[in-house]
Amino acid sequence: MLRPALLAAALAAAFPAHADADLDALRTEIRDMKAAYEARIQALEARLQQAETAAAQPQPSPETQTRGGFNPEVSLILQGRYAHLENRAERGIGGFMAADGHEHGGGGRGFSVDGSELVLSASIDPYFRGYLNAVLADGEVEVEEAWAQTTGLGQGFTIKGGRFKSGIGYQNEQHAHAWDFATNNLVYAALFGEGYAQDGVQLKWLAPTDTFLEFGAELGAGGAFPGTNNDGNGAGSVALFGHVGGDVGASNSWRAGLSWLRAKPRGREFEGHDVNEVETAGDFSGKSRTWLADFVWKWAPDGNPTQRNFKFAAEYFQRKESGTLACDDADPADPGLCSGGLAAPFMADQSGFYAQAVYQFMPRWRAGYRYDRLFRGDVLFNGADAGDAFESLADHDPKRHSLMLDYSPSEFSRLRLQYTLDQAMAGVDENQFYVQYIYSLGSHGAHKF
């Protein structure tokens, strides 16, 4: 065995003195590499944390990914019809005050353009979505809907503000091109003219349950019939609604709802004839309360509606109004009930319903039947039956029968034939025939249930 002194001498000979410096340099290089590696690990951990935080926030849709880009969904609905109507007289609904809602430019005899709709919608940012629906008819543009809706509140809550179709009832949120018939049902025609729109705000909550369950509340200006534009700071209308629904097996689904609408009309215009055939104009001021109950059932084999499907829908309403009706004869020289002006108490308690069934019996072909019925109920003016004073409010329960057949060459076009036996006015049984076309151009979102 070598002695320590000899071993040290041998090592010194094998490793020169400059070896210590090389070892120190190697140690320094290893320390630097370790520090750089740790720094990179820390940077990756920070980026991972940022990514996890961003993933928890609402994400913008593809059209908002490009900074400063404007790429909304755009669609154009072309809709028109030919109507063969027997009665040349102005049409109304007997026993009910005429609702002044628009009819998309249609409603007359012969050819007409029901109204073309231009629709734009897009995500505004990660927190809001915007929607615009403008109706083009008879050289005029009407903003039917223009709203912004939240997308990131969470917990099932959404807030919508602007002009929007109210969530009450079933058909109310549908645009005319989504109707199953060429004409509106008598319930909505009597209650709203076409449908009820709010200029205001809507809060909606969708419950996190397997059964579909949603509740909503709305505050609005209340300018649409049965309300009026009161030019006030407060809410002219309040609406509440709730819907529940679910599936029954793989082939059936349903939805039921209950809604309530309160409006405060001030000077709501009224035109008609008194019992002496004298033209009379006036206005109503008071309170209007409406209840709506709706029910929908859909069937499609194994949930696939492309070959065959069936839909049943029905809605019932109860409306009560009370206040003051002021009237005046249009021709003061022709004596009538309202000569010189008259303002007296007015009260109405009225109801009605519609029920319809539509069956797609083969791809692209559907047939449907709808029955409408209104009940004039109690209508009192100045303590007596209003029918004794006004011809248009005479005791009559309007009704209609409608049959339709439509063909859809594709999901973007539809042609429809319809026959209606109209008994909406007292003493008038009118046969009505309609031919309608509906074309959809561009991107168009799916319709509601």
Give the pLDDT confidence of 397-413 residue by residue, as tens digits. Answer: 999 999 999 999 999 99
Confidence tier at 1 by pLDDT (50, 70, 90) = very low
Higher pLDDT, 263 or 389: 263
How many residues would you count in the chain? 449
Q: Would you state the pLDDT for residue 64?
A: 43
Average pLDDT of the chain is 87
Does the N-terminal peptide bond of residue 16 adopt cis geometry, omega within 30 degrees of 0?
no
d(CA 335, CA 111): 40
End-to-end CA, the chain: 97
Q: In Å, how far are 134, 184, 346 from 102, measured between CA atoms? A: 13, 11, 26
Residue 243 half-sphere exposure toward CB, CA atoms < 13 A: 19
Q: Would you state the pLDDT for residue 11?
A: 46
The pLDDT of 58-73, averaged and rounded, is 55
* 273 pLDDT more than 50: yes
The pLDDT of 207-236, averaged and rounded, is 92
Q: Which helix (H) or strand (E) holds 132?
A: strand 128-137
Under 8 Å between Cβ of 145 and 130:
no
Residue with tokens 């308690």: 349
218: tokens are 């709305």
Q: What are phi and psi of 32, to 5 degrees?
A: -65, -40
Confidence tier at 108 by pLDDT (50, 70, 90) = confident
Question: Quick one: 404 exposed, middle or buried, by C-beta within 10 A (0-12, 13-18, 19+)?
Answer: buried
297: tokens are 């059932």
**Residues 6 or more apart in contact with residue 302 via CB below 8 angstroms:** 250, 251
Out of 25-34, 59-68, 138-147, 310-319, least confident range: 59-68
Q: What is the DSSP string of 280-306?
A: EEEEEEEEEEEEEEEEEEEE-GGG-TT
Neighbours of 316 (CB within 10 A): 17
The pLDDT of 290-318, averaged and rounded, is 96
Q: Would you state the pLDDT for residue 335?
A: 67
Q: Would you state the pLDDT for residue 332?
A: 64
Confidence tier at 325 by pLDDT (50, 70, 90) = very high
Higher pLDDT, 325 or 56: 325
116: tokens are 């073309």
pTM: 0.82
